[in-house]
Structure 1
Amino acid sequence: MNPVSRKSVSSGFRPLALALLSALGIGWAAQTGRTGGRFDVGGYRLDLHCTAPAPGPTVLLLGGLEEATEAWPVTAYDVARTHRVCWYAMAGVSPSDPAPGVTDGVARAEELHRLLIRAGVKGPFVLVAYRFGSQIARLYTDRHRTNVAGMVLVNPWQEDLAPALDAFFRQNPPVLDDLGSAPANRYTPPSPLGGVRALQQFVRAYTVGASTWKAGWNIRAGDAQVRRAAPLGELPLVVVTPHLDAFSVAQAGTLKSMYGQRLWRILGDSQARLTRLSHNSDQVFSEVAWDAVQNEDPGLVLGALRRVLTVAQGSSALGR
C-alpha cells in the first residue's frame, strides 16, 4: 500500500484522465439523465458526477484520497459503456470542500450517504474502492446494506495492515538512499520508493496514535470501526491485489527487490483476509501492476467488476 499522493503522477497522466472523464460528461449535467456538480452534505459540499441511468446496479467508484481524474479514468470510461457510473471526491479532496474537522470512517460513509440522497442517485450500488476507499465502502455497506449489490476492492487497505507493517519495518528498515528509476507506465508515480518512504512514515504515525492522514481522515479510528462491522454474508466480493513491488518497479537492484517482495507479501496476505468477509468472494492478482491496478492493469479490474455485476444481476456465485 502506497499512501503517496497521486499529485506526483507523470505529466502525461492528467491530460489523458481529463480527456477520458470529459468524454463521460463531467460538467455536462444538463444532458439527459446525467448528474453532476457539488452538493451540500451538512455545511460543506462534495463533488459528484454520474453518467446517464442504465439497467442494472450503478457502479460507484471510491478513490479514497485520490481525485477521480487520478484514480479512475480508464475504469470509468469502460464501465460507462454498459452501466451507470458515479464517482465523487470525499471531503478535503479537490474539488470537494473539507469537512469542518477531523472525521473517521463512519463519518465518511455517512457523508457519502447524504451526498447520494442530495444528488438523487439511488442504488443498488456495486462499490469499487481503491486503497483507503475500501474503509468507506465497507462501513457504507455495514450501515446501508440494502443499497449495496456487490463490491470490488482494488489494492485495498486492511484494518490490521499497519501493525504488521510496523513490525516489519522495525525489524527490517528499508534502504531508500536511491529512489530508483522512473517506471515507464504513465499511470505510475515517478518515484515508487518515495511511496515506500511515505508508507513507513504513515505507519509510524499510525502506531503512536497520530493517524490522521490527508484530508482530515482518521484512518486508525476507521479501522476500529471496520473491525466491529458485520460480515458481508453472500455479497459478491472480489479483491484485486498487485503482484509487483515498488523496489522491483524502481529497478532498485536484486537485493532490494527481494526486500520489496517480502514487504508486498504482507500486503497480499492482508488483502487475502478481506476475502473472508463474504462467502461469495475471490482474490485476483495482477502480474503487471504494483499500486493503481485499475489504471496499470485495467482489464483485470474490469473483469473482476463484470463478474460481480453478473452475480449482482442474477447469477448465484462468482466463478473461480
Structure 2
Amino acid sequence: MKILKWIKRLGMLLFLIFVLLLITGFVFEKISRAKAEQMKADGQFAEVDQHRMHYLKEGTGGPTVVFETAFDPAGHLQWYHIQKNLPKTYTTFSYDRSGILWSERGKNPKSGDKIAEELHALLEKSNAPKPYILVGHSFGGMLTRFFVKKYPQDVAGVILVDSQYPADDQYLSPELYKMVNQGLPGGFLKFANTFGAARLMFKNMFPAEPQYKYQNTIMPALLYKSADATLEEQDHMKSMKKEAAAINSFGSVPLYVLTAGDKTRYDNFIKDEKTKTEMLGAWAKMQKDLLNLSTDSKQIVLPTSGHYINQDQPKIIEDAVNQMVEKVSGK
C-alpha cells in the first residue's frame, strides 16, 4: 500500500512539474513574440492581394535574379548571404512567401498558381527589372514551374538547386516514397510552437558560423509566424506536386541543374544501406531528368555538398548565377 501511495504522489508531482513547464513555456513564448514584433525588417514591403509581403532587393538594372526558398520557415534568409555577395551590377530579389517571416498570410490558397501570382505581383510592385532569372532550391525549384508556365515572356533563365522532383513516385519504391513524403508532425509542432519549444528546436537551423549569426537570430524569433504557413504548404504539397508534374517544359529557356552529390547526406535519417542506396540512385535519376525541362540545359554535380547547397557551397551558386546573367545578357 505504501508503494502505491508513493507512486501516486510521484505521478502527481510529475504532472505538476509538467503543468509548470507548460505555463513557463507559454509565458516565455508570449514575451518572445512581443520582442519579435519590435524587430525591424531588413527589406521592404508591398501590398499584394490586400496583404503585405516582404522582399529584399539589391543592385540595379536587369536582369533580376529571383530567389525562391525551399519548404522552409527561414524564407528569404536562406539566400541572405548569397545575395549580399553577388554583384550590384544587376538586381537580386529574395522574399518571404505569404505567412512566412515578415510577410502577412493573406487569404489566397497555398497553391502553386497563387504563389506564382503573388511573386509576380510583388516583382511588379517593387519595380524589379525584367527579364527574370529564377533560382529555386528544393520545393522552391518545383515552384519555378508554375511561374514559368504563367509568365514565360518574363523568364530568361532558371537555376534549380537540388530541386524537388514532383513525380517522385515514378522513381521511388512505395516504401521509400512513403518515407520521403511523410512530412513534419504538424500537430506536435503546433503544440510546441504555442509553448515555446519550437523556437528552441529550430534555434540553430543555420550553421554555427559568424556569417549566419543574423539568420540564427531572426529565424527562431519569427518562427511563431512562419510555422503555421509552412505546415499549411505541407498540407497542400500533394496537390502542388501533381500540378507541377504536368508542367514538363520550359521550352528553350536556359536551365542549370545544380545537384548535391555527397553520398553520406542521408546517413542521419536512413540507416538501412539498401534503402539509402536506392534513395541516392533515385535522386540522381530525378536530377538528370530535370534536364529535359529545357532544350538548353546543363547539370553541375557537387560531390561534397548536401541538400542545402546554399549553405555547403554557396560559391557554386554565386558562380552559376553570374554565368547565367552573362548568358542571358549576351555578354
> TM-score, normalising length from structure 1?
0.67
Q: What does residue range 253-268 of structure 1 map to in structure 2 within 5 Å?
A: 256=272, 259-268=275-284
Computing the radius of gyration over CA atoms, which structure comes out larger, 1 or 2? 2
Return the match for 2:130 from 109, 118, 123. 123
Q: Which amino acid aligns with 1:269?
A: K
**4+ runs deviating over 3 angstroms:** 162-166, 170-173, 184-187, 245-250, 255-259
CA distance in 1, matches of 2:141, 2:161: 8
Report whether the alignment pairs 1:60 with 2:78: no
Q: 2:71, 2:139 within 8 Å by CA — same for their partners in 1?
A: yes
Distance apart, 1:312 and its partner CA = 0.7
Question: Is 1:74 matched up with 2:92?
Answer: no
Q: Does 2:150 match 1:132?
A: no
Equivalence for 1:50: 57
Give the aligned partner of residue 115 of structure 2.
Answer: 108
Question: 2:328 corresponds to which residue?
Answer: 312
Whether the aligned pair in 2 keeps the contact of 1:91 and 1:215 (CA below 8 Å) is: no
Match of 1:156 in 2: 163
Offset at 1:229?
2.8
Counterpart pick for 2:176 among 166, 169, 172: 169
Shift of 1:277: 0.7
Aligned residues of 2:75 and 2:101 also touching (Cα < 8 A): no
Per the alignment, residue 285 of structure 1 pairs with: 301
Using structure 2 for the length normalisation, give the TM-score. Answer: 0.65
Are 2:269 and 1:242 equivalent residues in the alignment? no
Task: Tell whether the 8 Å contact from 1:106 to 1:225 is kept in structure 2 after alignment.
Answer: no
Partner of 1:40, secondary structure, is strand
Counterpart for residue 242 of structure 2: 224
User: Secondary structure at the residue paired with 1:233?
Assistant: coil
Tell me, what secondary structure is at the counterpart of 2:159? strand
Matches within 5 A, 1:264-275: 264-275=280-291
Return closer, same or farther for 1:215/1:88 CA change in 2, 3 Å cut-off.
farther
CA drift at 1:270: 1.1
Q: 1:125 to 1:172 in 2, by over 3 A?
A: closer
CA offsets 1:173-202 (integer angstroms, 9 cap, x no match): 9xxxxxxxx9x9648xxxxxxxxxxxxxxx
Counterpart AA for 1:62:
E
The percent of aligned pairs where both chains have the same amino acid is 19
Letter in 1 for 2:279: L
Give the aligned partner of residue 301 of structure 1: 317
Q: Which has the higher helix share?
A: 2
Aligned to 1:91: 98
CA distance in 1, matches of 2:84, 2:272: 36
2:17 is matched with none
Pairwise CA distance, 1:132? 0.8
Gaps in structure 2 of 5+ consecutive residues = 1-40, 181-203, 210-228
Q: Does 2:231 match 1:214?
A: yes
How far apart, CA to CA, are the structure 2 residues paired with 1:74 and 1:120? 23
CA distance in 2, matches of 1:45, 1:122: 21
Q: Structure 1 regions of 5+ residues with no counterpart?
A: 1-25, 28-35, 174-181, 188-211, 316-320
CA distance in 1, matches of 2:266, 2:50: 45
- More moved, 71-80 vs 164-173: 164-173
**Paired AA for residue 256 in structure 2:** V
> How many pairs were matched up?
248
Q: Is the Cα contact below 8 Å between 2:167 and 2:245 reproduced in 1?
A: no
Per the TM alignment, residue 108 of structure 1 is displaced from its structure 2 partner at its CA by 0.7
1:304 shift after superposition: 2.1
**Alpha-carbon distance between aligned partners in 2 of 1:52 and 1:81, rounded to the nearest angstrom:** 4
Give 2:280's aligned amino acid.
W
The structural deviation recorded for 1:87 is 0.4
Question: Are 2:68 and 2:140, in contact at CA under 8 Å, matched by a contact in 1?
Answer: yes
Give the letter for the 2:281 counterpart.
R
Distance change in 2, residues 1:120/1:70 (3 Å): closer
Shift of 1:265: 2.3
Q: Write the distance in 2 (CA, Å) between the matches of 1:263 and 1:164.
A: 9
- Once the two structures are TM-superposed, the CA of residue 268 in structure 1 deviates from its matched residue by 2.1
Tell me: CA distance 1:274–1:107, structure 2 relative to 1, closer, same or farther (3 Å): same
Q: Name which of structure 1's ranges 216-225 and 282-291 shifts more when overlaid on structure 2.
A: 216-225
Q: Confirm whether residue 143 of structure 1 aligns to residue 159 of structure 2.
A: no
RMSD: 3.2
Point out the more displaced range, 273-282 or 120-129: 120-129
| C-alpha contact (below 8 Å) 2:56/2:94 kept by paired residues | yes
How far did residue 305 of structure 1 move?
A: 2.0
